[in-house]
Structure 1
Amino acid sequence: MGPENNTQISEFMLLGISQDPRLQSFIFGLFLSMYLVTVLGNLLIILTTISDSHLHTPMYFFLSILSFVDICFTSTTVPKMLVNIQTQSKIIRYAGCITQMLFFILFSGLDIFLLTVMAYDRFVAICHPLHYTVIMNPQLCVLLVLVSWLVNVVHSILQSLMVLQLSFCTELEIPHFFCDLYQVIHHACSDTFLNEVVIYFAAVLLACCPFAGILYSYFRIISSICAISSPQGKYKAFSTCASHLSVVSLYYCTGLGVYLSSSSMEKSHSTARASVMYSVVTPMLNPFIYTLRNKDIKRALKRLFQIKIIKGPVVLRLKKDP
């Protein structure tokens, strides 16, 4: 099969997680449930942080941005997968594939950057508590978020434009449930050396370097916690970053699993199944991790629901009054 110019490619075939027709209904129900939980859970986090003035701090500002990014991250891949299962179609248009790839790279990179920014926030809060409000001022918080968006927008556009320069063969079956960058360039008929160089360079610069920053922040945090003499003080200091540390561990461990599976079994569905963990499961678990381990969020949620419960009877009484 000879190569064709990429402008003649009209569609790709997403093989999904499994091609067993008996599992399609189960997969549809499972992913629909996880998607709804992800969207509702993260929306609840955003609503809670906005409505409660006690949560108008840098930590919860970054958490609300992370929740928004997680909704977008999951929405990039899962709805198209559900549509394909429901319509019994595996097709994604060429333009749709490139667009999906662009947004997937964007939001996955933003997840990493925001987790790094949140680690820095915890580092300042624990290691420099007296200067926290001065260092983590609103201008710096907004600047960190804007820089994260700018860097990842440029990176995602660059990767997508480089894919547009590739030539593909006529039949493109991708053993994945979305247009993964590595899987797409692996099916190109033209030379992909430059693409692979950029991918690995970006992985080191935009994934490994932030991870090194997270490790350094927690090294300093642990050192500061160990220097605290009071057991209660140690527990309070550690509890402020336990949720974030759990999310970081979950995200990077599942991401490492995807990397190992893709390098060992490129042509199987193992990469797609491993990708579910960090692209669907992790965004779904984030609200649970932050609410179950965070007393401030739990108190804010109680106040939010109490206000709604109180307002309901008041509105009914007003309607009954002549």
Structure 2
Amino acid sequence: MRAWTLDEFGLENLNLREVPTPTPGPHELLVKVSAVSLNYRDKALVDGIYAPEKMPKGLIPVADSAGVVAAVGDGVTKYRVGDRVTSHFYSTWHDGPWLPEYADFQMGGPLNGGLAEYQILGEDNVVPTPSTMSDSEASTLPIAALTPWFALREYRGLKAGDSVLVQGTGGVSIFAIQLASALGARVIVTSSSDEKLARARELGATDTINYRTTPDWAGAVLDLTDGQGVDVVLDVVGGDRLRDSIRAAKGNGLVAVIGFLEGQTASLDLMDLIWHQTHIQGIAVGHLRSFHDLVRFLDEHTINPVVDSVFAFEDAPRAYEKLAEGAFGKIVISTP
């Protein structure tokens, strides 16, 4: 089969090669990959800034994929040849609290990912692809949809009438807007683009802030909420801007730390944190049980992923470049 392998860190070292097609072992599926979608994690991994010590040479990258079961190993009972399935990010985290050892079993690094014509996935490491979605759409779900869902539902139990601040209009943020809106929450979105903010309103955003023309966006959030702040801040920026997320949160509110676009370290005003009694929660996607819950919710509410662009399998490096340039929604790579 053809597969893209990362032979050294750096996009120039992502190479298209012929490699042996894997054979499914007990309780494993051989999946003919139809599509993969890119997350910032995938770019950070290629750049060598995402747990580089854990990544093997020759890794097949990209965490999120969807496709069709082509063969099954011994003992498989949950899926059959021809079934459409979507991958789950943490192959060993099925339910319950997070355990540190789960980090060693991430799809797309350290385990081989989906940027190949075929992929091995455990029968307990997939969900049925929603019948209302194409494989390209479904490939966007494992990280970008489950991450905000896990923050909003598992950690906060978001309900109608609550308020959420969403940063930007990338893949995670777009799903956050759609999910929070469907849950009946007030959704405030920040972006540097008025055009993207207008599109965010079409997806369910109730209030928008252009942080380029309004640099004190945390102050603007407080103004919009009569000085109270929001129940949940989904922070995809990271770095020292985390301080602004704490300012924008309601007393006893949740700041869900999802991304690190502006850095992997932050300095905090501890008195601000203490006086807000803020909950800061790191979010590392979510477990399989919650993914099944999410798929049912998406079906019930007819929520369709927003795909920014689709690239051919042979043009995978260009898809990474597009991700670095910025996108509204998700970037997908289609596999023939």
Larger fraction in helix: 1
Which structure: larger Rg?
1
Specify which structure has the bigger relative contact order, considering alpha-carbon pairs within 8 angstroms and separated by 6 or more residues.
1
TM-score (structure 1 length as normaliser): 0.26
Q: Which has the higher strand share?
A: 2
